[in-house]
Amino acid sequence: MSSVNLGSWVNTCTIFGQANRPRSRSSRVSIPLRYPKQRRVLSVSAILTKEEQSLRQDQNEPKPPFNFKSYMVQKANSVNQALDDAVSLRDPQKIHEAMRYSLLAGGKRVRPVLCLAACELVGGIESMAMPAACAVEMIHTMSLIHDDLPCMDNDDLRRGKPTNHKVFGEDVAVLAGDALLAFSFEHIAVTTPNVTPARIIRAIGELAKAIGTEGLVAGQVVDINSEGLGSEQIDLQRLEFIHLHKTAALLEAAVVLGAILGGGNDAEVEKLRKFARCIGLLFQVVDDILDVTMSSKELGKTAGKDLVADKVTYPKLMGIEKSREFAEKLKKEAKEQLVGFDPQKAAPLIALAEYIANRRS
């Protein structure tokens, strides 16, 4: 993944047929009806005009505003049911218990919902992207399980519950993450309906790239190597690299997979890729702000852990207020990528950008 120069972003915030018309139904139509000894004419023009007026009234009625809360609840419920069905409790019991413990522990399901919304934006339907949406959530869950391990962030709390290794032990936690990662690709390959094999293969390639040494793993390694280094050794460009790969890459994959599987053309896929990179960085900027402004109870995870680990964050380099300003600019850039799409179909992605910018946990 190419890296965007975040330093320049801080200053500029720039990423990236009359002849065929049908005859009017209101034209007067006369039907001659012959009766004995007289001839009568029945006019139906008034009836047709009333029907046309009723149709026009329906078309002109303002549509209800997009209900983001209702949309998220409905989509999250669909995703949760699909995840429950995909990873059932079977032998070996222990590993499946561990997988389900973290996978079904709740969460906002932002990544899978982004995948479904992108699919529908380009003309697809939910079922086409649901296996990919679940796969992205499986991989996200894997990253959380591994990230919480003592050899990584050594965290005891995740989504308000004890972390996986605290419940099942480090050995089973590692294997649960591995199993979720492997199964995610199988799930896309085997269960994606009504999509051409070429698009499924393309989607799998995108996902693999997003989580390997060009994506999530790359960001995680650089993040680990940056611990303990002061802000004089880590500039905005290095911080950008970490989060474009560690955080934004999986969000980008979620959106791009949805666009590919939904039948989007190359131009649509690339616009949505840029949208996803913006909200991926936005997600991390907001996360860094919340880490130093909210409590563990409010976050559902350990607050202030970046300060304890002496990690370089956006607030540490830019300050709280500049970080908030930067988040606002990223949100604006993201929404600009959706110009040209059907406004109604783009409404969920616009609302998701607003939600990520304004979330409190």
The tens digit of pLDDT for each residue in 73-102 reads: 999 999 999 999 999 999 999 999 999 999
- Residue of 79, 159, 77, 69 lying closest to 111 (CA atoms): 79
Burial status of residue 55 (CB atoms within 10 A of its CB: 0-12, 13-18, 19 or more): exposed
Mean of all residue pLDDT scores within the chain: 84
The CA R_g of the chain, rounded to the nearest whole Å, is: 26
Residue 290 C-alpha from the chain's centroid: 20
Per-residue pLDDT band at 203 (split at 50, 70, 90): very high
Q: Taking residues 96-116, report their average pLDDT.
A: 95
Contact 86, 134 (CB under 8 A): yes
pLDDT in tens, 24-80: 444 444 444 444 444 444 444 444 455 555 555 555 666 778 899 999 999 999 999
DSSP bridge pairs for 42: 31
Residue 198: what pLDDT?
Answer: 98
Contact 158, 305 (CB under 8 A): no
Contact 281, 13 (CB under 8 A): no
- Alpha carbons 245 and 278: distance in angstroms, whole number: 12
Contact 77, 110 (CB under 8 A): no
Assign 41 to helix, strand or coil. strand
Q: What domains can you pick out in the chain, each with its CATH number?
A: 66-358 (1.10.600.10)
Residue 33: what pLDDT?
Answer: 45
Residue 41: what pLDDT?
Answer: 47
Torsion of CA 139, 145, 148, 149, to 10 degrees: -120
Predicted confidence (pLDDT) at residue 12 exceeds the cutoff of 50: no
- Alpha carbons 30 and 44: distance in angstroms, whole number: 7
Q: Which range is least confidently modeled, 174-188, 198-212, 227-241, 281-295?
A: 227-241
Residue 304: what pLDDT?
Answer: 59
- Alpha carbons 69 and 13: distance in angstroms, whole number: 29
Supply the pTM of this predicted model: 0.79
